Chains A and B, each alone.
Chain A
Amino acid sequence: MSTSPRILPKGVAEADFDTALARFRDILGADSVLTESDQLAPYTKIMMAGDDQDYIPSAALLPTTTEQVQEIVRTCNQYKIPIWTISTGKNLGYGSAAPGETGQVMLDMHRMNRILDVDPDVCTALLEPGVTYQQLHDYIKENDLKLWLDPPAPSAIAGPVGNTLDRGVGYTPYGEHFMFQCGMEVVLANGEVVRTGMGGIENSSSWQVFKWGYGPYIDGLFTQSNYGIVTKMGLWLMPEPPAYRPFLIQYQDPEDIEEIVDVLRPLRIAQIIPNAVVIVHTLWDAGTHVTRKEYYDGNDSIPREAIDRIKADQGIGEWNVYAALYGTPEQIDVNWKIIEQAFGASGKARLMYGEEAEKRGGGFSYRSALMKGDMNLQEFGLYNWRGGGGSMWFAPVSQAKGSETRDQTELAQQILGKYGFDYVAEYIVGWRDMHHVIDLLYNRQDPEETQRAHACFSELIDEFAKRGYGIYRTNTEFMEKAAGTFGEPLREVHRTLKRALDPNGILSPGKSGIRL
């Protein structure tokens, strides 16, 4: 018999918790209520620089229907049980499948995994939260549908609903996921079900095609939030184009980032290049398939000399632009000429596609897969760069302007260097914005290094905010701090909504820094 103290939800008496667990077993069946430590172990694995003791759940619930979710939240209200909702739980480096704080009950939606509808005419899907990209990809292939997905880097093991609700991004023209979401079914904290957009109309056939419905548009309230539990979500799928040309543009000097962004911006806004382009730094491009120790053994930030050796050995640029063209062969030829002209003007860029690009080092093969919506996890070779299983994504947003990009790059390199970490980064280019994504890789087996990573991440948030740069998403360890950078008036609105929609504060307390 275990002698360690039992973990309980914060503020909940043991007897009440036992009564609630009994009720959960009535609702779900005993096998779908997990309380044993070996069953809960997978819900404790984190990669961020937090204390393991802060992220241990008291139980996990595995519903399979919306009605079960309704009954769960009613029970939680009765006994004031806080639940933390996950879908596929593969938000690696952002909190994975662990709770927001110790004692919360996991609401694990992975078994709600039905593909409810895929319409090949209007190119839409209606999914439950446990559906993975791999599952939907298989379904599309098995049914010979000419549709493409837009997975983020964890592709196969992650899912469209969770990624969209966290406002994740992918790499095709449908890269900004929330933009291509259409209609939700949400269980509110009081147990009622609401359907957004056109979903409130009985027999509506336009739930997945018309986003706005009537009256205030509320779908955004259920992203990066804790105002409800999404049990169904519609999304738009990209029709498979007749032709596809992924390409690579390499630049060799650190300061070239400014030119790249300024040349790219008008091409993105005019949709000459339609996809979510990435501008990848050397260490990210190399880090997916080589390890740091092959080039440098020190504990400080990898020096310029080693970066130059990597570039030479691996055939990688300082900046590596991965983008693609989609359409008919004729359209692609026309757009390629425009791109060649634009990037060729300064004489610094090297443009390539096909065999020439494949022969270069770096990530052309896996980038080509992701830019056409295929499943590929090669990017997670990054976790071997430094080793030790520590990863936190620092992701500030900027305008798509070269001056800002250069400013952000220099600031990030300076702060990471101060703490002895490497600048492993890429920019994901939206229509007018850039997500600057930096993987703060560290050895989580080393307590001193973990503490250093924590301090580094904290300083990154502070210093970027001082210059006007906010982050678009963060891990559970830093949600409170990140929310603080967006100002008290916005936080008060978030709290007001929370009080109105979830007066007992049972849904994912602390998500995005939002509590009662």
Chain B
Amino acid sequence: MKSRTMFPQCRHGSVAAALTIALAGASLPVFGDSSKETVREPAEIYRQVCSHCHAPQYGVGPEITIAFPEAAWEARGNYIRMTVRNGRAAMPAFREAKISDSELNGLIRALVSGELDDAPIVKE
């Protein structure tokens, strides 16, 4: 599942043309969130965001997919949440706009339980 919302692919700028018409004059306010947020699966977030630094073959950041004993899940989860939201040394902070709270909860569960331990290695 992907996070983006997209217009169907179209050719020769037909979406752009449609937008031009819709925004001609461009002053009619549209209130409220017009996009439906989709929640990405933990493996997808790991692939799109985390793996580029944390996958073992890169070694930019430490490995994060190794399972923890269940007794340590809460503490480990809090550590991950704190690190993702605040950053740590060279690791950037990731905002709610990038990884939503519900996505982060799912990602943490998958990381601490080892569900992503065999996540596919990124290969282009």
B7: A residues at CB distance < 8 A: 114-117
Complexed CA–CA distance, A232 and B18 (Å)? 14
B60: A residues at CB distance < 8 A: 377-378, 380-381, 383-384
**Which parts of B6-24 form the interface with A (CB within 8 Å)?**
6-7, 9-17, 19-21, 23-24
Interface of A is mostly: mixed
B5: A residues at CB distance < 8 A: 113-114
Residues A199 and B20 in contact, CB atoms below 8 Å apart: yes
Complexed CA–CA distance, A433 and B67 (Å)? 49
Contact residue among A113, A126, A192, A206 (Cβ-Cβ distance under 8 Å from B15)? A126
The residues of A with any CB-CB pair to B shorter than 8 Å are: 26-29, 31-32, 34, 38-39, 41-45, 47, 60, 62, 64-68, 70-71, 88-90, 92, 96-97, 108, 110-111, 113-121, 126, 130-132, 134-135, 138-139, 143, 155-157, 185, 191-193, 195, 199, 202-208, 232, 289, 369, 374-378, 380-381, 383-384, 387-389, 391, 444-445
24 contacts between A and B (CB under 8 A): A42-B96, A45-B93, A64-B34, A70-B26, A70-B27, A97-B93, A114-B7, A115-B4, A116-B7, A118-B9, A121-B12, A135-B2, A135-B48, A139-B6, A143-B9, A156-B52, A192-B27, A193-B26, A199-B16, A199-B20, A203-B17, A375-B122, A381-B60, A389-B88
Residues A117 and B26 in contact, CB atoms below 8 Å apart: no
Q: Could you mark each residue 81-122 of chain B with 1 if its beta carbon is under 8 Å from any beta carbon of chain A, else 0?
A: 000011111111111111000000000000000000000001
Complexed CA–CA distance, A132 and B2 (Å)? 12
Known: A134-B48, A134-B49. 7 other contacts (CB 8 A): A42-B93, A67-B30, A110-B98, A202-B21, A208-B16, A289-B59, A375-B124
| A378 with B96, Cβ < 8 A, contacts A113-B4, A134-B48 known | no
B96: A residues at CB distance < 8 A: 34, 39, 42, 62
B9: A residues at CB distance < 8 A: 117-118, 143
Q: How many B residues touch the partner, as a band?
A: 35 or more
Residues A157 and B16 in contact, CB atoms below 8 Å apart: no
Tell which of B19, B59, B89, B90 has the most Cβ of chain A within 10 Å. Answer: B90
| A191 with B27, Cβ < 8 A, contacts A115-B6, A134-B48, A381-B58 known | yes
Residues A377 and B15 in contact, CB atoms below 8 Å apart: no
* Distance in Å: Cβ of B40 to nearest Cβ of chain A: 11
Closest to A46 in B: B87
Q: B29 near A: Cβ within 8 Å?
A: yes
Residues B20 and A204 in contact, CB atoms below 8 Å apart: yes
Residues B6 and A88 in contact, CB atoms below 8 Å apart: no
Q: B53 near A: Cβ within 8 Å?
A: yes
| A119 with B12, Cβ < 8 A, contacts A70-B27, A380-B53 known | yes
Contact residue among A120, A155, A185 (Cβ-Cβ distance under 8 Å from B52)? A155
A139: B residues at CB distance < 8 A: 4, 6
A62: B residues at CB distance < 8 A: 96-97
A289: B residues at CB distance < 8 A: 59
| A110 with B124, Cβ < 8 A, contacts A119-B13, A157-B52 known | no
Residues A68 and B30 in contact, CB atoms below 8 Å apart: yes
Contact residue among A60, A191, A380 (Cβ-Cβ distance under 8 Å from B90)? A380
Q: Could you mark each residue 25-40 of chain B with 1 if its beta carbon is under 8 Å from any beta carbon of chain A, else 0?
A: 0111111111100000
B85: A residues at CB distance < 8 A: 38, 41-42
Complexed CA–CA distance, A125 and B82 (Å)? 36
Complexed CA–CA distance, A131 and B48 (Å)? 12
A97: B residues at CB distance < 8 A: 92-93, 95
Residues B89 and A116 in contact, CB atoms below 8 Å apart: no
| A92 with B92, Cβ < 8 A, contacts A45-B87, A65-B34 known | yes
Complexed CA–CA distance, A334 and B124 (Å)? 28
B19: A residues at CB distance < 8 A: 116, 232
The residues of B with any CB-CB pair to A shorter than 8 Å are: 2-7, 9-17, 19-21, 23-24, 26-35, 48-49, 52-53, 58-60, 85-98, 122, 124
Residues B17 and A205 in contact, CB atoms below 8 Å apart: yes
Residues A71 and B87 in contact, CB atoms below 8 Å apart: no
B48: A residues at CB distance < 8 A: 132, 134-135, 138, 156
Residues A131 and B26 in contact, CB atoms below 8 Å apart: no
The 9 A-B pairs at the shortest CB distance, nearest first, are namely A383-B90, A389-B89, A42-B93, A110-B97, A193-B26, A374-B124, A45-B87, A377-B52, A45-B93
Residues A193 and B52 in contact, CB atoms below 8 Å apart: no
Residues B98 and A27 in contact, CB atoms below 8 Å apart: no
Closest to A126 in B: B16
* Distance in Å: Cβ of A172 to nearest Cβ of chain B: 14
B59: A residues at CB distance < 8 A: 289, 381
Tell which of B2, B4, B59, B88 has the most Cβ of chain A within 10 Å. Answer: B4
* Distance in Å: Cβ of A372 to nearest Cβ of chain B: 8
Contact residue among A42, A64, A134 (Cβ-Cβ distance under 8 Å from B35)? A64
| A108 with B97, Cβ < 8 A, contacts A27-B31, A377-B60 known | yes
Closest to B28 in A: A67
* Distance in Å: Cβ of B124 to nearest Cβ of chain A: 4
Complexed CA–CA distance, A148 and B9 (Å)? 17
Contact residue among B14, B90, B97 (Cβ-Cβ distance under 8 Å from A391)? B90
* Distance in Å: Cβ of B2 to nearest Cβ of chain A: 7
B14: A residues at CB distance < 8 A: 117
Residues B89 and A42 in contact, CB atoms below 8 Å apart: no
Tell which of B11, B16, B29, B34 has the most Cβ of chain A within 10 Å. Answer: B16
Residues A71 and B29 in contact, CB atoms below 8 Å apart: yes
B12: A residues at CB distance < 8 A: 119, 121, 205
